[in-house]
């Protein structure tokens, strides 16, 4: 297959939807001679922040001189974004070559792999072929039955936090979701928990598997200074760290990443203060309170659950002060749209509800009605672009949120 044919193959595979479980990915990898077993992983999950923490830690590790693979999803514009080595995305040619190789095994399976399982297998093969020394591996959903959870002995497992999301797959309670997140904890391998309060299920899982349980000491985080151009902070003895990522939540994500780096250093990896400093300053992570335009301000944030939206609203209040922005929002139909609207309504001037390009998208008319019930002026649009252009023409600051899937429709408009 060439690159275009590869994308079409994955598109057709995606029609089967999401299916949790390790049987298909395990069989596929076995047919591929288990490429995942030759690599060293940092495995990361969490309801919110796992992408940012993963990107920061990967940047720290390759700034330390370690050849570092990074697998994350979903992509914003091109699928190549999901596969990086030392910050460089996979080429079209190599992606097509690897996926062609994998397809030859997948088509022999009675129970064929899902799109994400194919993508995960491609990540393992890509990092093996390129002899990566470390791999930062981000879960797509949950952990216990996520395709990435075939790895056996990670250098470190990281759980950023636990909150309600993907409830139709992971359960409708925090305890049920915690069980899935705890699934990445492995026997005698360290785990880092990044939430501010300990979770009893995470603690019990770590104890039952003799896994050293580490916490993030957020009291070490101080001196936070943030503008629309830069985030500065100190963490313990690391003074005046700099991030070009915005959002009031990012220093806390950075604290998790730095703590993870310190644990890895104690295991013998060559992580220095200089590499931590360089890794944080050089990391780029699109779609997370990203300033796309300054006049008028256009900000994109991938918050897509109630807790994520709550953090986004806090950032909006901090950066825009008393100015109420226009909100462009589209959500998936398995999300708590009412809970998200409840958080957004007090800071919104007007809402432009859109329908993201996904079979899982909530109809924009229904979304607009939810906001109207909270007393917010709301219009509905059949697609993302039309809603965004209408909002942009109003001349006020615009914040786009609700789903990362909208990024590809927003970016070309600016």
Phi, psi of 54 (to 5 degrees): -60, -45
The phi and psi torsions of 116 (rounded to 5 degrees) equal -70, -35
pLDDT confidence of residue 172: 79
Distance separating alpha carbons of residues 146 and 284, to the nearest angstrom? 26
| CA angle 213–55–186, rounded 5-degree value | 30
Domain 290-413 is found in CATH 3.40.605.10 = no
Provide the token pair at 173. Answer: 């309670």
Q: Average pLDDT for residues 226-232, to the nearest whole number? A: 92
Domain ranges of the chain: 3-282, 290-413
What is the reported pLDDT for 282? 97
Identify the residue with better confidence: 29 or 14: 29
Q: Span 293-305, mean pLDDT?
A: 94
On the question of a cis peptide bond just before residue 408, with omega within 30 degrees of 0, the verdict is no
CA 170 to chain centre: 17
pLDDT of 170 reads 82
Q: Check residue 165 and give its pLDDT.
A: 79
pTM: 0.96
- The hierarchical CATH code for the domain 3-282 is 3.40.1190.10
pLDDT for the residue 17: 75
- pLDDT of res. 19: 86
Q: What are 303-359's pLDDT values in tens digits?
A: 999 999 999 999 999 999 999 999 999 999 989 999 999 999 999 999 999 999 888
- pLDDT over threshold 80, residue 89: yes
Kindly list the distances between the CA atom of residue 203 and the CA atoms of 7, 209, 334, 412, in Å, as whole numbers in the listed order: 41, 10, 29, 45
pLDDT in tens, 379-407: 999 999 999 999 999 999 999 999 999 99
Q: What is the pLDDT of residues 144-194, one digit of tens each?
A: 999 999 999 999 999 999 988 777 778 879 999 999 999 999 999 999 999
pLDDT at 280 over 90: yes
- What is the residue-averaged pLDDT of the chain? 96
Provide the residue count of the chain.
414
Q: Percent of the chain scored above 90 by pLDDT?
A: 93
- What is the rounded CA–CA span in Å between residue 75 and residue 406? 11
Q: How many helices (H) and strands (E) does the chain have?
A: 15, 17
The pLDDT value given to residue 164:
81
pLDDT band at 371 (very low <50, low <70, confident <90, very high): very high
Is the alpha carbon torsion for 128, 130, 132, 135 positive or negative?
negative
Contact present, 327 and 300 (Cβ < 8 Å): no
């Amino acid at each position: 297959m060439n690159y275009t044919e590869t994308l079409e193959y994955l598109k057709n595979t995606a029609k089967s939807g999401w299916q949790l479980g390790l049987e298909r990915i395990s069989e596929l990898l076995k047919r591929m001679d288990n490429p995942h077993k030759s690599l060293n992983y940092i495995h990361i999950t969490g309801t919110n922040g796992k992408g940012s923490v993963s990107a920061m830690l990967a940047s720290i590790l390759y700034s330390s001189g370690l050849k570092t693979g990074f697998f994350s999803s979903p992509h914003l514009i091109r699928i190549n974004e999901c596969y990086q080595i030392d910050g460089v995305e996979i080429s079209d040619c190599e992606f097509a070559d690897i996926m062609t190789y994998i397809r030859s095994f997948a088509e022999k399976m009675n129970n064929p792999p899902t799109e994400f399982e194919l993508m995960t297998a491609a990540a393992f093969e890509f990092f093996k072929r390129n002899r990566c020394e470390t791999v930062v591996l981000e879960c797509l959903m949950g952990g216990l039955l996520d395709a990435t959870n075939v790895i056996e002995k990670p250098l470190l497992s990281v759980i950023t936090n636990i909150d309600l999301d993907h409830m139709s797959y992971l359960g409708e309670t925090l305890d049920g979701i915690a069980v899935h997140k705890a699934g990445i904890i492995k026997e005698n391998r360290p785990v880092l928990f990044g939430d501010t309060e300990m979770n009893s299920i995470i603690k019990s899982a770590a104890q039952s598997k003799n896994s050293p349980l580490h916490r993030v000491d957020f009291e070490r985080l101080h001196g936070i200074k943030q503008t629309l151009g830069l985030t500065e902070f100190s963490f313990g003895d690391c003074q005046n760290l700099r991030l070009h990522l915005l959002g009031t939540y990012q220093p806390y994500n950075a604290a998790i990443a730095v703590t993870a780096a310190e644990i890895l250093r104690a295991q013998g990896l060559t992580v220095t203060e200089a590499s931590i400093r360089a890794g944080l300053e050089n990391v780029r992570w699109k779609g997370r309170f990203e300033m796309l335009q300054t006049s008028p301000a256009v900000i994109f944030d991938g918050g897509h659950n109630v807790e994520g939206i709550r953090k986004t609203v806090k950032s909006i209040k901090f950066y825009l002060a008393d100015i109420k922005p226009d909100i462009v929002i589209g959500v998936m139909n398995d999300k708590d749209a009412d809970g998200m609207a409840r958080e957004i309504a007090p800071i919104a001037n007007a809402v432009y509800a859109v329908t993201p390009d996904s079979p899982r998208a909530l109809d924009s008319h229904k979304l607009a009605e939810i906001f109207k019930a909270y007393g917010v002026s709301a219009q509905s649009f059949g697609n993302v672009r039309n809603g965004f252009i209408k909002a942009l023409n109003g001349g006020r600051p615009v914040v786009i949120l609700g789903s990362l899937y909208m990024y590809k429709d927003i970016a070309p408009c600016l």
